[in-house]
Amino acid sequence: MRLSKKRVQHTKGMDITPMIDIVFLLLIFFITVSQVSETNREKLDLPELKGAEDQKKTSLVLNVRQNGQIVVAGNELEVADVAFLVGKELEANGGDPGLVTVVVRIDQRATCEVPNALVKQLASQGISKVRLAVQVPK
pLDDT, tens digit, 9 for 90 and up, residues 80-117:
888 888 888 888 888 887 788 888 888 888 888 888 88
Left (φ > 0), alpha (ψ -120 to 50) or beta: where does 122 sit?
A: alpha
Is the domain spanning 42-132 CATH 3.30.420.270? The answer is yes
Would you kindly state where each structural domain of the chain is located, as residue ranges?
A: 42-132
120 CB neighbour count, 10 Å cutoff: 11
DSSP codes joined into one string, 100-135: -EEEEEE-TTS-SHHHHHHHHHHHHTT--EEEE--B
Tell me the C-alpha distance between 130 and 109, whole Å. Answer: 20
| Res. 22 pLDDT band, cuts 50 70 90 | very high
Residue 21's pLDDT band, with cuts at 50, 70 and 90, is very high
pLDDT at residue 25, rounded to an integer: 92
Q: Could you list the beta-strand ranges (E) of the chain.
A: 60-64, 70-72, 75-77, 101-106, 129-132
| Whole-number pLDDT of residue 57 | 65
